[in-house]
Structure 1
Amino acid sequence: MNHPQVPSPPVGCPAHNPGGVRMHALRFQEDPADLYGQLRREHGPVAPVLLDGDIPAWLVLGYREVHRVTTNPELFARDSRRWHAWDRIPDDWPLLPFVGYQPSVLFTEGAEHQRRSGAISDALSAADQFEVRAHSERVADELIDAFAGSGRAELMTEYASQVPLRVVARICGLEPSETADLERDMTASLDDGEGAVAAYGRIAAKMAELVQRSRREPKADVPSRMAAHPAGLSDEEIIQDMISIMAAGQQPTSNWIGNTLRLMLTDDRFAVTISGGRRSVSQALTEVLWEDTPTQNFIGRWASQDTRLGGQQIKKGDCVILGLAAANTDPQVRPDFTAGSAGNQAHLSFSHGEHRCPEPAPELAEIITKAAIEVLLDRIPDVVLSLPADEIEWRPSIWMRGVAALPVEFTPAHVSR
């Protein structure tokens, strides 16, 4: 990973602001919504924070401010080599997989970003959405068959974490035998533990193997389409972009499934219709994107020049974190779901602007998520939690929002498949 050696941050950046809150502190992980509210009250829509190792950054909490950042890529750019803190970043920094510059679509800008993101969109668009839905249902049925007869299951590890990876793996040309280790490494790379960097390295090696295989034996899959695309992508470009596709398709989608199931199993508004309620699934999916979005925070953008944002002085080279969860729950825009706002799609859960999730990735994620939930409720209509709702724990991550475990009970069902 390439990062230049540059001087320390200038006076005025959050490193010199005593109000900076440590994002890697346990409090941030346990009750982020409460902390977002406190930061908003104390600092307004943009707050000074400290990353691992007390590296300074700005967390954008306001909906309008996130919108401004994401629609001004020239001012708030994606190339992390602009960061003025690289001389303070150790080689084993946990967030290095997210911010260390690589030849990935995530760090490209301007015409180069259009070239790369266009190839990804074309490769994903060629996936038949009806086939994706059918395969999602088959995967869901296979997983449910494994626990249906027992009358109990832990839906995160046995179901929600596996459905999207198996579906995305098929779209990307991976064999079923290759998905177990990949799922483990994807989860580890997105958490805040010491193994994040090593897990990322294993993912990169697997994607390199996949790209080489696609060059030798092209198939109707995403890497083969990218290799043949008129954009003329190199192997390294495809490897890096496949990592982005796999990461975006697995953990956030798993959390979308898990968070939606949690909502439907704990909220009386959904419990009334849970046994029959296909109509309720769409409502729950949207509400989760607003209230418990799978990607809480996204790092990041780097200021290309001095500017002001949300009343704060942002210096050239400052790191800006998109607080997607905080923006979605900004009191100025937050929908009232008890008043029939379930169809409101103005959330920022897939980000915004030219660096948002490429089309049709959000649609594919929704197809997978909806299929997983509907098949589960069709097969096991009397599913209930095995513990009180207030005992459900969230994974300890400031970046992703997902329940750690979702134990359930139900009437044992016969497996006829």
Structure 2
Amino acid sequence: MTDVVRRTEAVPLYGDRYQTDPAGLYAEIRETHGPVAPVLLEGDIPAWFVCGYRELHQVTTDAALFARDTRRWNAWETVPDDWPLLPHLVHNPSVMFTEGPEHRRRAGALSDALESVDQFELANQCERIADQMIDRFAGAGEAELMGQYASRIPLSATAMMCGVPESEARILVDDVMGALNSSMANQMAVYGRMQEEMQRLVDRKRALPGVDVPSHLLADPANLGDEEILSDLLVVLLQAHQQTTNWIGNTIGLMLTDERLAVTLSGGRSSVGDALNEVLWHDTPTQNYLGRVATRDTRLGGQRIRAGDLLVLGLAAANADPQVKPEGTAGTAGNRAMMSFGHGEHGCPYPAPELAEIIAKTSVEVLIDRLPDLVLSEELEWRSSVWTRGLVRLPVTFTPTYVP
């Protein structure tokens, strides 16, 4: 397939249509092109969109053919210096871009460190953090739950998992929160401060180890260097923050707008797990993942893929593939086969999904326990980028509660 044909047939994976109805666009792409489709990323940069469940499983399973090191990409010369998707594709020293034995060494150490987290203690910490957040607005009778609640708990909890003292964690959360809707320059400045904070944290844990993720990484037999530990801690913090935040927000939004789940708000916690699972199937926070690069010419889903071509992993689209899951919500309860956390050796490292679920589930449960008469005060407004989907705002009203 020539570049001219690819650009002629390619579907823009950005713009108004994507912002308003990404799920509809995914279905249209699959119907028109099949499980692998030519698309254009922002700036009309060509790529392949893997939207079939089986094809996505194949790509994520075969890390030798569909590799993670994006320096192989054959279109770098067409990418401008200010391209907004650069942060997702520029190679960096984190575990996200490693391959082969090196990746297994790094990912294994990170998984072992995350597995050391006491999940019961994490749930207790999340409950305490959630209560503290609710105490701040419970008496007002109204709140904007994305900024005042959902976005603050994952970063606070993850910082504590990393052994950041609570006082420093609060400063870190406020710093990151203040940068989210500001300029790129300010966001980069915050990222630089986070790097400095993580370096100080690693230095402290080397001198005085504790029961936390960086201490386990320092002691791991993989013999990780400071740069490796620093970059992987930043990955954990940032990924846990944004994706778990949107998982919480999307779930609360679903429970406030879906009559099937409305009883949960007044009747208890019984359906929270189902709502969290349904969000992963139908409004998963990580919509797409950038990406994989073909290491040689091959065929996938009826398309000819050239060596160096970029593949976008359509996680949300694969979850909706009618070849593996019928339309609607039937079959999602208890079904954990969604692609929302990726798959294969480059998927979300175990047990990160379990830890994220503890944070999200506890956050939603505490909220509905404390404020059972929550009512949405505005229509939901979605923020849909090529890689994530979440709510811009989540304004609610409720009966004010006195906090002593």
The aligned counterpart of 1:258 is: 249
When the two chains are superposed, the root-mean-square deviation of aligned CA atoms in Å is 2.1
Runs of 4+ displaced beyond 6 Å: 193-196
Change in 2 beyond 3 A, CA 1:339/1:85: closer
Who is 1:119 aligned against?
109
Matches for 1:123-138 after TM superposition, within 5 Å:
123-138=113-128
Deviation, structure 1 residue 197 = 5.6
1:171 matches 2:164:
no
The two structures have a TM-score, normalised by structure 1, of 0.91
Q: What CA deviation, in whole Å up to 9, does each residue of 1:139-166 have, x standing for no partner?
A: 0000000000111111110000011111
Q: What is the alpha-carbon distance in structure 1 between the residues aligned to residue 357 and residue 316 of structure 2?
A: 18
Q: Which residue of 2 aligns with 1:72?
A: 62
The residue type equivalent to 1:133 in the other structure is A
Residue correspondences, number = 400
Task: Answer whether contact 2:268 2:369 (CA < 8 A) is retained.
Answer: no
CA contact (8 A) 1:165 1:179 kept: yes
Equivalent position of 2:96 in the other structure: 106
Shift of 1:16: 4.1
Task: Report the Cα offset of residue 220 of structure 1.
Answer: 2.1
The alpha carbon displacement at 1:95 in A equals 1.7
The answer (yes or no) to whether the contact 1:125–1:360 under 8 Å persists in 2 is yes
CA distance in 1, matches of 2:4, 2:145: 41
* Structure 1: tracts of 5 or more residues without a match: 1-10
- Secondary structure, aligned partner of 1:17: helix
User: 1:357 offset after TM fit, Å?
Assistant: 0.8
1:306–1:315: 8 Å Cα contact kept in structure 2?
yes
Q: Does 1:56 align with 2:46?
A: yes
Question: 1:397 is matched with which residue?
Answer: 385
Q: Is the 8 A contact 1:275 1:382 kept in 2?
A: yes
Deviations 1:172-206 (A, max 9, x none): 12222222213455x469x9x78766664454444
Kept in 2, the 8 Å contact 1:13–1:318? The answer is no
Q: Which amino acid aligns with 2:389?
A: R
| Aligned residue among 258, 274, 287 for 1:296 | 287
2:269 alignment counterpart: 278
- Give the letter aligned to residue 380 of structure 1: L
Kept after mapping to 2: 8 A contact 1:57/1:321: yes
1:349 paired with 2:337, answer: no
Specify the code of the residue in structure 2 equivalent to 1:393: E
Cα pair 1:94 1:196 within 8 Å, conserved? no
| Counterpart pick for 2:377 among 374, 386, 403 | 386
Query: What SS does the corresponding residue of 1:395 show, helix, strand or coil?
Result: strand
The TM-score with structure 2 as length reference comes to 0.93
Q: Which residue of 1 aligns with 2:210?
A: 219
- 1:51-102 per-position Cα deviation (integer Å, ceiling 9, x unaligned): 2322211111111111110011011000111111122223332222211111
Report if the CA contact (8 A) 2:277-2:332 is conserved.
no
Tell me the alpha carbon deviations over residues 98-128 of structure 1, each in whole angstroms, 9 at most, x when there is no partner. 1111121111111111100011011111110
Equivalent residue number for residue 181 of structure 1: 175
Structure 1 residues 333, 14: closer, same or farther in 2, change over 3 A? farther
- Distance (whole Å) between structure 2 residues aligned to residue 25 and residue 15 of structure 1: 21
Q: Write out per-residue CA displacement over residues 348-368 of structure 1, whole angstroms, 9 at most, x where no aligned residue.
A: 000011111111100000001
2:133 to 108, 128, 143: 143
In structure 2, distance between residues paired with 1:12 and 1:307 = 15
Q: Deviation per CA, 1:13-42: give whole Å up to 9, x if none.
A: 588431222223232122111111111121
Query: What amino acid sits opposite 2:391 in the alignment?
Result: V
Query: Contact between 2:376 and 2:396, CA under 8 Å: does it hold in 1?
Result: yes
Please tell me the residue identity of whatever aligns with 1:146: R
**d(CA) in 2 for partners of 1:340 and 1:93?**
40
**Cα pair 2:175 2:190 within 8 Å, conserved:** no
Q: Could you tell me whether the CA contact under 8 Å between 2:12 and 2:44 is conserved in 1?
A: yes
Q: In structure 2, what is the Cα distance between the partners aligned to 1:308 and 1:19?
A: 18
Q: Which moved more, 1:201-210 or 1:168-177?
A: 201-210
Rounded Cα–Cα distance in structure 2 between residues aligned with 1:223 and 1:183: 23
Paired residues of 2:264 and 2:272 also in contact (CA < 8 A): no
Q: What are the equivalent positions in structure 2 for 1:90-105 lying under 5 Å apart?
A: 90-105=80-95
Distance in structure 1 (CA, Å) of the matches to 2:20 and 2:330:
29
The offset of 1:210, in angstroms, is: 3.1
Residue 47 of structure 1 and its aligned partner are, at CA, apart by 1.3
2:84 alignment partner, SS class: coil
Q: Return closer, same or farther for 1:14/1:47 CA change in 2, 3 Å cut-off.
A: farther
- Contact map agreement 1:140 1:376 (CA 8 A) in 2: yes
Partner deviation per Cα, 1:331-384 (whole Å, 9 max, x = no partner): 222356654641111100000111111111000000010100100010111111
- Matched to 1:403, the amino acid is L
8 Å contact kept, 1:165–1:183: no
Which residue of structure 1 lines up, in the alignment, with residue 29 of structure 2?
39
Please give the per-residue CA displacement for 1:365-405, whole angstroms capped at 9, x wherever unaligned.
00010100100010111111112xxx211014221111111
Distance in 1 (alpha carbons) for counterparts of 2:19 and 2:199: 33
Letter aligned with residue 348 of structure 1: M
Q: Report the AA paired with residue 135 of structure 1.
A: Q
> What is the alpha-carbon distance in structure 1 between the residues aligned to residue 332 and residue 15 of structure 2?
34
SS at the partner of 2:249? Answer: helix
Q: Equivalent of 1:230, from 216, 221, 228? A: 221
